[in-house]
Structure 1
Amino acid sequence: MYKKTIYYLLFSVVTSLCCTTGLTAQETPQIWKKYIGEINDSEVPDLPNYSYAGYKLGEEAIPDSNAPVYDVTDYGAIANDYLSDVAAIKAAITAAENSGGGVVFFPKGEFIVNATAGNDASIVIGGSHIVLKGSGSGQGGTVITMQNVMAQEPGMTGEWECNPMFQFVTPENASAPANLTADSDKGTNYVTVDDVSVLNGYKYVRLYMAPNTAANNLYLDGKTPLNSIWTSINQTGVEAKEFHEIDHITGNKVYFKDEFINDIKFAHGWTIEGWNMIEESGFEDIHFKAKFRGPFVHHKNYEHDAGWRVIRLTNTAHSWVRRSRFSNVSLIASTVDCYALSFVELLLDGNRGHSTVDIAKASRTLAGLIWDNTNNGQFHGINMSGATTGSVAWRVESIYGRGIDFHGSFPRSNLFDVYQEYNVVGNGGSTAYLPNHLGGLTLWNLSKEGPAVTDYDFWMFCNYCAAVVANPIIVGFHRTETTFLQDNIKYEESNGTKVFPESLYEAQLEHRLDTKPAWIDAAILEFEELKEQWYPSVGESDYTETINNLVLNGWGSETYTGDNGFVWNVNAKGVTDYIDASKEVYFQKGVTGITSNSISGGINSFSIECKNLWDITEERKVELLVNGEIVGAMQHTGERTYIFKVNDINIEGDVVIAIRNASTPEPGQDFRKLAIAFDNINWTRNTSLPIADKNYVKASLYPNPSDNGIYTLTVKELAIAKIHDLQGRFIKQSIPLNTGDNTLDISNVDTGIYLLTLTTNSGVTTSLKLIRN
């Protein structure tokens, strides 16, 4: 562990130095210079101040709770028993709530929720200072598995209607409203009201403006005309709400901890109410696994759109979801009437689902350091909708996802910052509640991976063909060539070129506080460490075969090339969902169902995931054969997934690895098939080739890390190279290498860590880590 920490520290230093060097050559845009007061140009608009987004308005790190711990296993939960743990989880939550707060703790292992088909009820967290905490979202940590799709409550009919698995919510408890009696300009932090007494006993408030066509011009930033099919804004006008935390009250003025991001005109009928919220609650360090199988079809039915939702936060402030992994889900989380939330350091993977994080009806909320690594990217990216204001999507990696999302219903003044996407947008939303976004939207250093686009129109009058946004600001839009119709944007600068500062959110926050909060760099570094925990790098002598490249569905035989370039022969049934949602196989008694071709380097240790199918009370036996000889065996009874391991094999040279179902039925039970499912074959070579010793492995790589994705690879004998990402997807295959210097070019791929596998003509194979800055 100490060694790993040192590695990442060095990696962070190198990355910082490389990035700093590169940024000096990047443009500092005029709009940023105006924001910090270096210039005063009337042709350059003012940037909104987005720096108040996130937990404690971005000023403090999310804390590690020191509240009492309520271990779910003390309330009846049992890890890895494949039985429902919901009752125990609810009991632990109730105990924490009754004591005024606590950590509901999940030890290592798998816990089961929604085990009963037809359930439509969430697990509810209704108090402040309640943190659902696991033992890590990486391998060997805490897994919460959602066994069945959530059912719709009676009366729910829309494809989007379904309760999530977990809800943080407190009942709405608002004061009587008071009226605003004066305007409040953007950049100020107070309102003047006719009766401050209604706020007695309240910490938070809601400012509300009922639908009002008189406010259209202000919040549309003067943009016209309006499409006739946008019925809501045409007939009743813009509706607005904002949530704030009271700092103090003086006379008839109520001061807040954050400032207004837009002008507030009292003539538009704004009111203020005390608003009850739970606070300081969270969900962290958990791998949540659902079972959506896909392929995803938008609006096919509620299971596709919403049935595998994980978390909803309602009437919640200064709370979070962090350091967690979500597999095969509809979306991570959504909000309703919330303030100053953080969704950070999160991974989405498995099958593509509907959305990522839906920030709806929220103020000053942050969704950042999020990696969408689903197989086709989520259908919608981070969503800002439903009167959301002053919120930020920050450092999101979603190169296969359709793009950023605004679902309409009057969001305004939000930021998408250092966001990697495939298309310009991946929006949705009913035409009745368009435009998708009002004024104040800024796109800062967005990178698009998809096809080139010419004259993208942000004010197009058509149904579901583009995002309709009032006068966006676009700075540093880069990667594939993209131009925008200038008549329908407010301001554009540095098209095709990444700008400095890289992150507008970070720069505005540092500018406001006169220092960069320490939590930002710490979170970025921790996020990179989590990626390694989610997808551990293959060492130079370690291999994993996931079986994901197998095409076979149903019974049959197939020869295929696996994750590391080795050839495997399968005589089995290709399936999914017996062990997890990925590809796996099962075969019956007496069958050697998986056999490799010859692999060089020997074998020292071996493991494979197994699960007995049907006839659960009958014992199973698994054997490992190397070069036709049995080198290990295991017996197992029961229905849980288990690991068959063999250590100290110590066979050198070329090896053929085979797995046999050696189960034998009890006397008189020959009709039983005694099937076993298998997934994830792992083995280590007997010969270790340390990549740091270039003379030993006969290869060297420079520079590494590389800023531009171009490397010089020197080899001392002819070889073939392959490059894949940490998920096992090939970036380049079958690259011929000559003796001496060779150029490797991965400049067209995103920043991150990749694996280079070299196989020489003499049969020696080794792996090196490529770092692309």
Structure 2
Amino acid sequence: MLKLHLTKHLFAGTLAFSLAAMTASAAQATVQAIGATLPDILSNEKVMKDKFLPDYSFAGYANSEKAPSTQDFTVINVADHGIFANDGLDDSQALLTLLDKLRESDEPTVLQFSKGRYIISSIIYFDRNNLVVRGEGSGVSGTEFYFPRPLIYTEAPELKELKEYLVSLNKIQKEKKNNIYLPFTEWAWSGGYFWTRIKDLRVKKYLDKYDVPIRTLATPNKGKQGEFILTVDTSDKLKVGEIIELQWYNTKGENAPIINELYHGLVDNVGSHHWRFANLALARQQSEIVAINGNQVELKTPLLHNIHEGMEVNLAPWEHLSNIGFEHFTMTFPFAERIAHHVEQGFNGIYLTRLYNGWVDDVKITNADSGILTEEVANISITDVVTDGEKFAHYSVQMGAVHNVLVENLHVKNKVEHPLSFNTFATKSVYLRSSIDIDPVLDQHSGVNQQNLFDMISVNVTLDENRQYPLFAGGGASYWKPSHAAYNTFWNINVRFQNGHASAQSVLLNGMKDGPKARVISVNGNLPVHVEYGPDAYIEGTNWVYPEAESLFEYQLKKRLSQE
């Protein structure tokens, strides 16, 4: 199974991508890169020692060591429970009734839908383990879920706190020239019609008044970034095989150790949310305990950050679901004109929360405000997703408050505000072999997103007369700035310029001034490019593709699995 899974990563589309990129860019290769098969950051011992590069190979379902399987799942044909395609009736209540019956057990179950259209107008919650929604494909003869109205017409008590937060901060979208002065909606970056959740568990912390005492299993006091061992005060409450969450807090203000750990003193625009909420962890890592030796604990995945005296780190229990999957169907929304940024009505597809080892595969989403949104999930694989339609969307597949999530073969065909986006608290996650057709941005959305990877991304760019393009622009509110923390990585970014070929002058790709210590490797295109990125970015191999490591994720995964 390991070999099959790795083979899928290594060869699916790699050859076509690499040949196109190398043909376009080899002539402009830098002197340093000519003939190189690996960049220095993977082959030069001095550079490797001086320039920390995160190991991204743990992203995905089961840390990408095996693919999801439903071989032993019981298959339930939903037609046997009164849920029929193409009958013109709303299927929401019948589906909710079926899920109520299944909630009494965690028996592995596939809900099999037939080809044709099903109509859904209520939020469908998935709040038990080992449950898969499967259609008969995402093509024209497959399964379609049609959502005739937006989420503003549904009830979602889970977002009550978010609504209060938006009011308390007076979050208003102001666009005078467009006659827009409207309050943010709770659906702009949250919620979805297919929603994984643990009932009554807080989705995300926004307001102090809803805080409960922080739960503690142990207090870590020593650990090195990138290694697997940490020392704790006591391991009495810990168990091998348990999924825990490491949490890095800040109650010490602007000069706290975690602030330097994140930004290395390289930026001067660290926003107030980094110290305003004492009970809000600035960095989180969900991982399995694989061994305990006295007060030393070995984790399945490498430490996100250093742990040392003076840092405020907690090892906590982490409540989650597991083995929930969505596969082989289309989600369609009626076209609705975009009103404005942040005031979306909630044409949102899938919302993944509190899920560990889950997946989405072979899903097409049309005319959504946001195709797939995430919050508090880890070890998720999202593969072969297409977003399209005439709707100007907010997100395609967004990653927020995630750890070790892999989005692979995402094709963004529609116009999207943030087509690929690492959002607040996203860590060690990967967009792999994905493409953006219209107005691409590799968005890093403030909110302490850190150590994330854009890998083998292909984008279409139309140049203006300035012969530059802000590919690396970052969004987000000022109180969560800067745009990202240290070690976000770009690897083999292929830019297909749609114009500008009358000149051999290089194109400037820029847009990021407040993202410290990025790793920017192998940005290339069908015109020569120059990259500006700061501060203190490590840039290597511009206008070159390294044949032994076209994908950093796959290179690291192959190396790790060969050593196990």
* TM-score, L = length of structure 2: 0.78
> Is 1:387 matched up with 2:395?
no
Instruction: Measure, in 1, the Cα distance between the counterparts of 2:17 and 2:215.
Output: 56
In structure 2, stretches of 5+ residues that fail to align are 1-7, 167-182, 203-212, 462-469, 501-505
> Is 1:231 matched up with 2:231?
no
**Structure 2 match to 1:456:** 510
Match of 2:522 among 476, 488, 494: 476
Instruction: Measure, in 2, the Cα distance between the counterparts of 1:300 and 1:336.
Output: 18
Match of 1:113 among 111, 120, 140: 120
Instruction: Describe the SS at the equivalent of 2:145.
Output: strand
Instruction: Measure, in 2, the Cα distance between the counterparts of 1:161 and 1:457.
Output: 28
- Of 93-102 and 449-458, deviating more is 449-458
Instruction: Describe the SS at the equivalent of 1:342.
Output: strand
Instruction: Measure, in 1, the Cα distance between the counterparts of 2:368 and 2:550.
Output: 31
Give the partner amino acid of 1:58. Answer: S
| Structure 1 position 425, deviation (Å) | 3.2
Instruction: Measure, in 2, the Cα distance between the counterparts of 1:215 and 1:405.
Output: 27
Instruction: Measure, in 2, the Cα distance between the counterparts of 1:78 and 1:14.
Output: 37
**Structure 1 match to 2:192:** 164
> Residues 13 and 356 (structure 1 numbering): CA distance in 2 closer, same or farther, change over 3 Å?
closer
**Structure 2 match to 1:336:** 375
The answer to whether the Cα contact below 8 Å between 1:318 and 1:339 also exists between their aligned partners in 2 is yes
Match of 1:94 among 94, 100, 107: 100
Match of 1:506 among 536, 542, 554: 554
| Structure 1 position 80, deviation (Å) | 0.4
| Structure 1 position 506, deviation (Å) | 0.7
Instruction: Measure, in 2, the Cα distance between the counterparts of 1:481 and 1:264.
Output: 42
Identity of aligned residues (%): 22
> Residues 242 and 28 (structure 1 numbering): CA distance in 2 closer, same or farther, change over 3 Å?
farther
> Residues 266 and 281 (structure 1 numbering): CA distance in 2 closer, same or farther, change over 3 Å?
farther
Give the partner amino acid of 2:560. Answer: R
Give the partner amino acid of 1:161. Answer: E
CA displacement 1:444-464 (0-9 Å, x = unmatched): 1112346875373522xxxxx
Instruction: Measure, in 1, the Cα distance between the counterparts of 2:141 and 2:401.
Output: 37
> Residues 175 and 50 (structure 1 numbering): CA distance in 2 closer, same or farther, change over 3 Å?
same
- Of 164-173 and 431-440, deviating more is 164-173
**Structure 1 match to 2:491:** 444
| Structure 1 position 42, deviation (Å) | 7.1
Instruction: Describe the SS at the equivalent of 1:90.
Output: helix
Match of 2:412 among 372, 384, 387: 372
**Structure 2 match to 1:404:** 442
Instruction: Describe the SS at the equivalent of 2:351.
Output: strand
> Is 1:256 matched up with 2:299?
yes
The answer to whether the Cα contact below 8 Å between 1:404 and 1:424 also exists between their aligned partners in 2 is yes
| Structure 1 position 387, deviation (Å) | 1.9
| Structure 1 position 236, deviation (Å) | 7.1
Instruction: Measure, in 1, the Cα distance between the counterparts of 2:114 and 2:300.
Output: 38
**Structure 2 match to 1:104:** 111
**Structure 2 match to 1:678:** none
The answer to whether the Cα contact below 8 Å between 1:179 and 1:269 also exists between their aligned partners in 2 is no
Instruction: Describe the SS at the equivalent of 2:151.
Output: coil
CA displacement 1:152-206 (0-9 Å, x = unmatched): 6585365351331011112449983144343211232132222333345972111
The answer to whether the Cα contact below 8 Å between 1:70 and 1:92 also exists between their aligned partners in 2 is no
Instruction: Describe the SS at the equivalent of 1:283.
Output: strand
**Could you say which structure has the greater relative contact order, defined with CA pairs below 8 angstroms and 6 or more residues apart?**
2
CA displacement 1:652-696 (0-9 Å, x = unmatched): xxxxxxxxxxxxxxxxxxxxxxxxxxxxxxxxxxxxxxxxxxxxx
Larger radius of gyration: 1
| Structure 1 position 490, deviation (Å) | 2.1
> Residues 253 and 108 (structure 1 numbering): CA distance in 2 closer, same or farther, change over 3 Å?
same
Instruction: Measure, in 2, the Cα distance between the counterparts of 1:28 and 1:343.
Output: 35
Instruction: Measure, in 2, the Cα distance between the counterparts of 1:337 and 1:293.
Output: 29
The answer to whether the Cα contact below 8 Å between 2:76 and 2:111 also exists between their aligned partners in 1 is yes
| Structure 1 position 270, deviation (Å) | 0.1
Instruction: Measure, in 1, the Cα distance between the counterparts of 2:16 and 2:424.
Output: 41
Task: Map 1:249-328 to 2 at 5 A.
Answer: 249-294=292-337, 296-299=338-341, 301-303=343-345, 307-328=346-367
The answer to whether the Cα contact below 8 Å between 1:289 and 1:326 also exists between their aligned partners in 2 is yes
In structure 1, stretches of 5+ residues that fail to align are 1-8, 115-120, 460-467, 517-773
Match of 1:491 among 520, 538, 542: 538
CA displacement 1:111-165 (0-9 Å, x = unmatched): 0001xxxxxx521000111001111111211010001111165853653513310
Task: Map 1:725-736 to 2 at 5 A.
Answer: none
Instruction: Describe the SS at the equivalent of 1:477.
Output: strand
Match of 1:59 among 55, 61, 65: 65
Instruction: Measure, in 2, the Cα distance between the counterparts of 1:255 and 1:177.
Output: 18
> Residues 103 and 426 (structure 1 numbering): CA distance in 2 closer, same or farther, change over 3 Å?
farther
Instruction: Describe the SS at the equivalent of 2:483.
Output: coil
The answer to whether the Cα contact below 8 Å between 1:226 and 1:234 also exists between their aligned partners in 2 is no
Give the partner amino acid of 1:370. Answer: L
Task: Map 1:407-418 to 2 at 5 A.
Answer: 407-418=445-456
The answer to whether the Cα contact below 8 Å between 1:402 and 1:425 also exists between their aligned partners in 2 is no
| Structure 1 position 325, deviation (Å) | 0.7
> Residues 29 and 441 (structure 1 numbering): CA distance in 2 closer, same or farther, change over 3 Å?
farther
Instruction: Measure, in 1, the Cα distance between the counterparts of 2:303 and 2:34.
Output: 26
| Structure 1 position 247, deviation (Å) | 1.7
Instruction: Measure, in 1, the Cα distance between the counterparts of 2:438 and 2:369.
Output: 16
Instruction: Measure, in 1, the Cα distance between the counterparts of 2:13 and 2:341.
Output: 45
- Count of aligned residue pairs for this structure pair: 485
**Structure 2 match to 1:601:** none
| Structure 1 position 273, deviation (Å) | 0.8
* TM-score, L = length of structure 1: 0.58
Give the partner amino acid of 1:360. Answer: G
Give the partner amino acid of 1:269. Answer: E
The answer to whether the Cα contact below 8 Å between 2:220 and 2:314 also exists between their aligned partners in 1 is no
**Structure 1 match to 2:142:** 141
The answer to whether the Cα contact below 8 Å between 2:344 and 2:369 also exists between their aligned partners in 1 is no
